[in-house]
Amino acid sequence: MSAESVAPRGPSPVLNEENPFEAMMERFDAAAERLDLDPGIYRILRHPEKQVITSIPVSMDNGDVEVFTGYRVLYNTSRGPAKGGIRFDMGVSLDEVTALAAWMTWKCAVVDIPFGGAKGGVVCDPFRLSRGELERLTRRYTASILEVLGPESDVPAPDVNTNEQVMAWIMDTYSMHKRHTVTAVVTGKPIAMGGSKGRREATGRGVKIVVKEALRELGMPLHGTKVAIQGFGNVGSVAAALLEEEGLTIVAISDKTGAVYNPNGIYVSEALDWIARNRFLEGMPHCEHLTNEELLELDVDVLVPAALENVITRRNAARIKAKIVAEGANGPTTAPADAILEENGIFVIPDILANAGGVTVSYFEWVQNREGYYWTEELVITRLREVMIRSFNEVLAFSRLHEVNMRTAAYMLSIDRVAAVHKLRGIYA
């Protein structure tokens, strides 16, 4: 029996373009159908392995007790320990965490690192919590999901509104329960306590590597190639600096205050200096000021959405002029927009490939923790380059073989890898 008989076909008439779980599932279904996936394996992969919902009581500074809701979803662990970030945000929901955990499963498989996928989150506004409240929240959340955590079972990392300090608290709480220091239980730690060199720049560096591969593939030069980058945070600013170093011209960048544009090029170091002094790009001199929406539609060669999800939709996809879209952000393009970009011949490097540099160096961090031997930055960069170039070319080969776009190819390749392991392992009765 083919997947035909089990997978819902075509976009659902009630599809919510911006629902993360539906967006992920639509791509998953398209890839499963192309792969002619075994229906039993299709059913397994359409469900999360484990979802933990926990109530987290926290003593607030004013003496009150507040109870927060936390989630940890292990989507699939067939290829290895679950891997995925923890976010602290008011928008966290079980649906969103599950979709992101599935995404992590495909992302780890597409770069062929031996991890499954997970995600976690706590519904809270961290900006309204004191440092002490945030620490107590983090430690109680960690204690409440202790049975799923572990270097061999589930390894969190930072995500929206969590950082190195939060990872340090998680590592300490877990280690206190285990009665010895366990560095490999989280990644994205401070370097002083087992973090990896090159982790901070890893996602932006990965974006640069795959953009270079795509330019080579399309026969486009590095020098003078025009780039617009939405989002000038960790991913966007590192990608901008490294692409500039390679000779590309960064003509537009943006943050939540808007975009700045100079057709002759923006010096990334000047923009970084401006941000260091003024926090936001707003008011930066020698540039035209545009909206974030206008940035997406600029006449450039490469567009890197590196801020938010759902920014390229059926409403603006037809106006995108870039020849290459490299998705630094998670989920910047909605499923209906995919078809429009494809029709217009735009080469999309999908998020699960383009921004996989971060999880790849997280994997290196976990390996170094378990080896107890730390790599030089050069070694981290060399191995990251190897993984990203190999993965890009494997996805490209799959896209040619199956005559599908890069996104469908990336999903097909990763689902195929996860499915192969399920077949080999069989089902424990």
19: left (phi over 0), alpha (psi -120 to 50) or beta: beta
Task: Select the residue interacting with ligand NAD from 233, 265, 272, 310 (CB under 6 A).
Answer: 233
To ligand NAD, the closest distance from the beta carbon of 157 in angstroms equals: 8
Q: Among residues 83, 107, 119, 226, which one is catalytic?
A: 119
Instruction: Rule CB under 6 A: say whether 23 interacts with ligand NAD.
Output: no
Pattern 267-296, binding to ligand NAD, x per CB under 6 A? -------------------------x----
To ligand NAD, the closest distance from the beta carbon of 295 in angstroms equals: 8
Nearer to ligand NAD, 155 or 306 (CB): 306
Which two three-digit tokens encode residue 99? 């979709």
Nearer to ligand NAD, 153 or 234 (CB): 234
Q: Which of these ranges, 22-30, 217-225, 261-269, 326-334, lies near ligand NAD under the rule CB under 6 A?
A: 326-334
Instruction: Rule CB under 6 A: say whether 308 interacts with ligand NAD.
Output: yes
To ligand NAD, the closest distance from the beta carbon of 339 in angstroms equals: 22
Nearer to ligand NAD, 15 or 308 (CB): 308
Nearer to ligand NAD, 32 or 166 (CB): 166
Instruction: Rule CB under 6 A: say whether 307 interacts with ligand NAD.
Output: yes
Q: Which of 9, 7, 26, 14 is nearest to 333 (CA)?
A: 26
CA pseudo-torsion sign 322, 323, 326, 327: positive
Instruction: Rule CB under 6 A: say whether 389 interacts with ligand NAD.
Output: no
- Is residue 321 part of the annotated active site? The answer reads no
Instruction: Rule CB under 6 A: say whether 70 interacts with ligand NAD.
Output: no
Nearer to ligand NAD, 194 or 231 (CB): 231
To ligand NAD, the closest distance from the beta carbon of 201 in angstroms equals: 9
Nearer to ligand NAD, 38 or 365 (CB): 365
To ligand NAD, the closest distance from the beta carbon of 340 in angstroms equals: 21
Task: Select the residue interacting with ligand NAD from 234, 262, 310, 313 (CB under 6 A).
Answer: 234
Residues 336-365 that bind ligand NAD (CB under 6 A): 355, 358
CB neighbour list of residue 349: distance below 8 Å, 6 or more residues apart: 210, 211, 214, 324, 325, 326, 327, 392, 406
Amino acid occupying residue 344: N
To ligand NAD, the closest distance from the beta carbon of 312 in angstroms equals: 13
Instruction: Rule CB under 6 A: say whether 153 interacts with ligand NAD.
Output: no
CB neighbour list of residue 348: distance below 8 Å, 6 or more residues apart: 324, 325, 327, 333, 338, 341, 342, 405, 406, 407
Strand-pairing partners, residue 51, are: 73
The residue count for binding ligand NAD (CB under 6 A) is 20
Task: Select the residue interacting with ligand NAD from 99, 329, 346, 396 (CB under 6 A).
Answer: 329
Contact at 8 Å (CB) between 61 and 39?
Answer: no
Instruction: Rule CB under 6 A: say whether 24 interacts with ligand NAD.
Output: no
Residues 27-46 that bind ligand NAD (CB under 6 A): none
Binding site for ligand NAD (CB under 6 A): 203, 230-236, 254-256, 292, 306-308, 328-330, 355, 358
Residues identified as active-site: 119
